[in-house]
Amino acid sequence: MAMVEQHAPNEWAEPAQLPPHTYPLWVVLAAALVLLAALYSFTRVPALVEAGRNLHAGQAALARGDYTTAITQLERAHRESPFSRKVIIDLATADFGVNQPQAALALIQGMTLTQSEWATLTQTMPPSIQALYHPTN
């Protein structure tokens, strides 16, 4: 990884200079692959940014108790990023808030919840359902 500087050689003892802008084929191919990968990453960003915006809008609606708006925003975010735990937990919280426990339970089915996620869910989860869950170490 080091760059070693060498003094400019005398004319009578000049070592072979590499022709400028010539790279081994594998370096050129690797560079092309890296640029393609960067382009692919870049093309995915608009959908992810949109999911982030919908998540934040949903969280804001959730904070003011507007569960219907929260569900609309968070369902959009869920479509754009189905694996997002933040979206799933907030959407389930909003579903409990509008008394749709089946939809909420379907979302969190099989998940192991962190304490913070549990604290979010129990804001709206009915105590009768909370009693069905047990903490694990």
Partner 1 sequence: MIPGWLISLVTFPGVVVHEAAHRFFCDVTDTPVYEVSYFRPKGKPAGYVIHGRPRTLGAALLISGGPLLINTALCSLLTLAVAYQHFVLNAGVHGPVLILLAWLGYSIGMHAIPSRQDAASFTAQVKDTRGQGFTLLLAHSLSGLITLANALRIIWFDAIYAIGVSLAIPALLGAF
Burial class (CB in 10 A: 0-12, 13-18, 19+), 44: exposed
Take residue 38 and report the two structure tokens written for it.
């960067």
Please report, as residue ranges, which positions from 20 to 59 form the binding site for partner 1 (by CB under 8 A): 20-21, 23-24, 27, 30-31, 34, 37-38, 40-42, 44-45, 48-49, 51-52, 55
97 and 70 Cβ atoms separated by less than 8 Å: yes
For residue 84, CA distances in Å to 39, 49, 74, 77, 90 come to 23, 13, 11, 9, 10
71 and 91 Cβ atoms separated by less than 8 Å: yes
Give the nearer residue to partner 1 in terms of CB position, either 2 or 131. 2
Among 10, 11, 12, 17, binds partner 1 (CB under 8 A): 17
Q: Which span sits near partner 1 by CB under 8 A: 11-19, 63-71, 91-99, 125-133?
A: 11-19
Binding site for partner 1 (CB under 8 A): 1-9, 15-18, 20-21, 23-24, 27, 30-31, 34, 37-38, 40-42, 44-45, 48-49, 51-52, 55, 77, 81-87
